[in-house]
């Protein structure tokens, strides 16, 4: 099952929780990239994409 399908199956509450967690993780990665050596630069891209998918599903439901 694709990640988009998994996101669409989540409830509104789960989406909000997932969005908050992804935004917090992205913030930590940005801080890490600015202060330390970032081991996996692609992680920030994956998190940004995940956040965009969640926001898209939330806007579709409105």
- pLDDT of the residue at 2: 62
- pLDDT of the residue at 5: 87
pLDDT mean values, one per 10 residues, the chain (62 residues) = 81 94 94 82 91 94 88
- pLDDT of the residue at 19: 95
- pLDDT of the residue at 1: 44
Give the domains, in start order, of the chain with CATH numbers.
3-61 (1.10.287.310)
> What are the distances in angstroms from CA 61 to CA 9, 15, 33, 36, 57?
12, 11, 34, 39, 6
């Amino acid at each position: 099952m694709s990640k988009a399908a998994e996101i669409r199956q989540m409830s509104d509450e789960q989406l909000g929780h997932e969005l908050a967690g992804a935004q917090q993780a992205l913030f930590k990665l940005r801080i890490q990239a600015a202060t330390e050596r970032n081991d996996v630069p692609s992680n920030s891209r994956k998190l940004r994409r995940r956040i965009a998918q969640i926001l898209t599903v939330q806007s579709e439901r409105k």
